[in-house]
Amino acid sequence: MFRHKEYTGDRMRMVPATFLMWACSLYGASQAETAVFSAFRRSDSGLSNFVQMHRTSVTEELDLVIAMGRPKAHSGTGGDSWRYWTEDRKIGFFLQEKMRPERVYLLGTKSGFPDCAAVIERATATDSVISCRGEKSEWYPNQKWVYDVRAKNLVRQFSYQPFAMRRIFSGGAGGSKGTDVVFIGTDRQRLIAVEYHADEEPAFRILGGAAAERWTRRVHVSAGGEGVPTRTVIDMDDDKAPLPAMVPALPRTTYDQFAAARPGRVKNGYERQGSELAEAIGAWQREDGKIWFGKTFYDGEGSTGVGGFGYFDQKEKKLQMFDPAEMADWSVSALDVTADAVWMALVSNGEYGGSSGGLLRYDRHTSTARRLPLPDIAFGIAHTNGKIVAATDFGFAVAEDDQITRYFVDQTTDGRLRVVPATR
């Protein structure tokens, strides 16, 4: 339930100075943060411990502040302990005057979920979106706030199921003129097709009707039931082409090689006895008589491996392997080979689901590798107009000049879909 309240000069001055000093001392908060926390506590007296999650300027006079409150102090008040937005915690949205920080305006608060790691994906002068991921990579609905900062008022708060982009196709036949890449994704209720034009603004365009069907019919889906009461959901099948039979099995990694490449994993308990090294070929791509591929392995419950990639030369009938240290801990979920580099999406396939290791660029001329941070798991990579684009479980990623910009499918108050940039 949202309460539209305003905490301005007179009301804020009613807070005793000793309380404000105590709050600043307890949380190490600035005066501006303490004013927000005091407003938060006034909105819900059951909350006693607070943290500022995000602050951004939305007008010349106002900051948007997103904070979290919980009922009592915990032994750990920082770091990852504050990521979890549980049912007994609330996230609050506030506007605060820059010149007079004692003037705080409450837009609204909302409780969390049974198992939710909250991430602020977008925070602008008009709207904010928080994603919520549960155990084993389960996605809860995105939580969205729309507000009018001039009126200092909340317009609407609602939720919608996020779209994961599972496939990526190059343009050409079937797309609009100038199409570079087409993404196919799902919110587990429907499919969506999104065109990407690297040299246009906006670069993304959601397709509809026959234009979308030209692409969505290229993927296969399966239906099933989940939840109580049961609802029908769809998932996109992994219908990528099988690896050619001519590619030989990977060389077996010995435990000594594993221990040298991943000493941290050894310290975690992966000793010689009881550790199973089981690696396989994952994502692959043809290029000029070579079949490039990345290694994949399960990394949990005693099973493990060492990351790497390579190619099979079809003419020479030889396998060439590469094992840069930057990818020793990671499997490859997607790759794209260009004349200058091999781009790979890194992922850890563990007991509690997958986690991203970012994008890795291996320079084919210098034999050097570097990793670019990306919090999302990529399922496909392509290159166009000097940019690398990826289809991810969050939406889209575009890499250019060592910078990655993330985008996602957002929903407006009237139910329309649009592609917007994330602010992290």
C-alpha dihedral, 353 to 357 to 362 to 366, nearest 10°: -140
Q: For 20-49, what is each residue's pLDDT tens digit?
A: 333 443 446 799 999 999 999 999 999 999
The number of helix segments (H) and strand segments (E) in the chain equals: 6, 30
The residue among 137 and 97 whose pLDDT is bigger is 97
The pLDDT value given to residue 379: 96
- Does residue 292 carry a pLDDT above 60? yes
Question: What's the mean pLDDT in 299-315?
Answer: 97
**pLDDT one-digit tens code per residue, 105-129:** 999 999 998 888 899 999 999 999 9
pLDDT in tens, 311-368: 999 999 999 999 999 999 999 999 999 999 999 999 999 988 899 999 999 999 999 9
* pLDDT tier for residue 133 given thresholds of 50, 70 and 90: confident
Q: What is the pLDDT of residue 4?
A: 39
Residue whose token pair is 């943290």: 51
74 pLDDT tier (thresholds 50, 70, 90): low
Instruction: Identify which of 416, 409, 418, 412 has the alpha carbon closest to the alpha carbon of residue 126.
Output: 412
Judged against a pLDDT cut of 60, whether residue 193 lies above it is answered with yes
- pLDDT value of position 274: 92
Can you tell me the mean pLDDT for 367-386? 95
Percent of the chain with pLDDT over 90: 77
Answer yes or no: is pLDDT of 18 > 80.
no
Q: What is the pLDDT of residue 424?
A: 84
DSSP letters, 62-100, are EEEEEEEEESS--S--SGGGGTB--TT-EEEEEEEESS-
Q: pLDDT at residue 1 above 50?
A: no
Q: Is the pLDDT of residue 238 over 90?
A: no
Q: What is the largest CA-CA distance in the chain?
A: 82
pLDDT at 401: 87
Confidence of residue 284 (pLDDT cuts 50, 70, 90): very high
Pairing mode, if any, of strands 309-313 and 303-304?
A: unpaired
Q: Please, are residues 235 and 252 in contact by the beta-carbon 8 Å criterion? A: no
Token readout for 387 is: 């940019």
Could you tell me if 73 and 48 are in contact, meaning their C-beta atoms sit under 8 angstroms apart? yes
Answer whether 128's CB lies under 8 Å from 144's CB: yes
What does the pLDDT read at residue 180? 87
* E strand segments, 171-278: 181-186, 191-196, 204-206, 221-226, 231-236, 276-277
The DSSP line for 153-189 is: EEEEEEEEPPPEEEEEEE-STTSPTT--EEEEEE-SS
pLDDT classification of 171: cutoffs 50, 70, 90: low
361 or 72, higher pLDDT: 361
Residue with tokens 């030369």: 313
- pLDDT above 70 covers a percentage of the chain that reads 89
Single out the residue of 196, 195, 284 nearest to residue 244, CA to CA. 284
* Confidence tier at 230 by pLDDT (50, 70, 90): confident
Phi, psi of 214 (to 5 degrees): -55, -30
Average pLDDT over residues 303-316: 97
pLDDT value at position 116?
87
Here the tokens at position 71 are 């009922």
Query: pLDDT-derived band of residue 3, with 50, 70 and 90 as boundaries?
Result: very low
Q: What is the pLDDT of residue 5?
A: 43
Please report which confidence band the pLDDT of residue 247 belongs to, taking 50, 70 and 90 as the band edges. Answer: very high
- What is the mean predicted confidence (pLDDT) over 377-391? 95
Residue pair 235/224 in contact (Cβ under 8 Å)? The answer is yes
| C-alpha pair distances (Å), 274 with each of 260, 271, 297, 299, 352 | 17, 7, 16, 13, 20
- Give the global pTM: 0.88
| pLDDT for residue 14 is more than 50 | no
- Give the pLDDT band of residue 59 (cuts 50, 70, 90): very high
> Cα separation of 299 and 229, whole Å?
34
Mean pLDDT score across all residues of the chain: 89
Mean pLDDT of the region 86-97: 96
Q: CA dist 85 to 33, 90, 91, 116, 117, Å?
A: 19, 7, 8, 5, 6
pLDDT score at 20:
38
